[in-house]
Amino acid sequence: MDPTGPSHDDASQFTHMRTTGERHVPVLLERCLELLAPALDGPDAVVVDGTLGLGGHAEALLTRHPGLTLVGLDRDPEALRLAGERLAPHAGRIHLVHAVFDEIADVLDRLGLGPVQGVLFDLGVSSLQLDEDQRGFSYSREAPLDMRMDPTTGPSAADVLNSYAPGELVRVLRDYGEERAARRIVEAVVRARRRAPLRTSAELVALLEQAMPAASRRTGGHPAKRTFQALRIEVNGELDAIAGAIPAAVDALALHGRLVVMSYQSLEDRIVKRVLTQRSQVTAPPDMPVLRPEDHPELALLTRGAEKADEAEIAANPRAASVRLRAAERVREAA
C-alpha cells in the first residue's frame, strides 16, 4: 500500500458509511486508489468507473481527489439510484450513466469528455445483485431465475433454460461455466422443461443436485456454481462486453492515464490479460532495425501478473477471495 496515503482509520470511512456503504465493502480499495493516484492528481482529471455498482470505489476516489470528475457507468438502474444517493455530496463532479461498460467511448463522446486519466473496472456480479433475493443471482436463496444485470431488458435465465436448443445450452455451460457435466445437466433440463418450465433458483438447484455425478458433488464446491455462472454470463453478454470494453478503455486513456481491472474468474481475466499483453508489446517485425514511434508499446504493465487479495482482505471481505487485479499505464500517444 502507498505509505503516503491515508491511515487505516482514514480509509475505513470509505467502507463504513451510510446504509449503502454498509452493504458494500469495495474489493482491494486501497490498492486501486494507489494504482490510480499518480494519474489523478493533476487539474481537471477525469476517471471512469465502468462498473459503478453501489459506488464504494467511486466515493473513495472522489474523496481522495477533490478536483476529480467521475463518470460512473452501470447497466443496473437500481445501482445507479443507490450510488447517486451515496455520491450526492459530490454531485457537482459526477456523471452517472445507464450504460454497459463497453459503451465507454460513446458515453465520453456524449459528455464531451476525454481522453481520461483513469478507468476502473470491477467485473462480475455486484454486491447489490447478489444480495437482492428477487434478482436470482444466488444459488443459495429461493428466487425467480432472472439474473439480468439490467432487469428492464433482454431475456432472463429462465428464458435461456426453457427456450434454448439442447446443443446451445451445452455450449453455454461448457464455454461459460467450464462445466464438464454439461451434457448430463442439459439432458435433465430438457426432461424437466417438458413437464413444466423452470422458473426458480430452487428448482434449478434441485435438478442440478440430482443430475450431477456423485464424484462432482463431492469436489469443486457447490454443484450449482458453474451452471449459475454460465447462465449469468450468457444472459448479460458479459464476456463480449469485456472483450469490447478493455480495448475501448485503453483507447480512452490520455498519455500516462491508468487502467485498473478486477476480475473474479478465469474467463474474464483471460480477456483482460490478452488485451493488456498485446498492447504492452512492440508491434514491429523482429528484424526491424529501427522502431517507428507507432511500433512502441502503448501500455506499460503496472502489475506482475494478476495480483490477489491477501488473507487480511479476504477475512474482512470474503468476496475478495477470487479477485485478480491487473493494471497498466498508457505510455504512448494514440497513433
Residue ranges for the binding site for S-adenosyl-L-methionine? 55-57, 74, 101, 122, 129
**In this structure, are strands 253-263 and 69-74 parallel, antiparallel, or unpaired?**
unpaired
Burial of 312 by CB count in 10 Å (0-12 exposed, 13-18 middle, 19+ buried)? exposed
Tell me which residue of 39, 79, 35 sits closest to 56, measured CA to CA: 79
Residue numbers in the known binding site are 55-57, 74, 101, 122, 129
> Cβ(99)–Cβ(52) under 8 Å?
no
User: Can you tell me the distance from the alpha carbon of 186 to that of 165, in angstroms, rounded to the nearest whole number?
Assistant: 10
User: Can you tell me the distance from the alpha carbon of 78 to that of 101, in angstroms, rounded to the nearest whole number?
Assistant: 16
C-alpha cell at 249: 478503455
User: Can you tell me the distance from the alpha carbon of 117 to that of 119, in angstroms, rounded to the nearest whole number?
Assistant: 7
Residue with cell 485498473: 260
Tell me which residue of 280, 242, 143 sits closest to 202, measured CA to CA: 143
Tell me which residue of 18, 49, 7, 16 sits closest to 32, measured CA to CA: 49
The alpha carbon of 165 is separated from its chain's Cα centroid by a whole number of angstroms, namely 29
> Cβ(246)–Cβ(271) under 8 Å?
yes
Alpha helix (H) residue ranges in 7-97 = 8-12, 19-23, 29-40, 56-64, 77-86
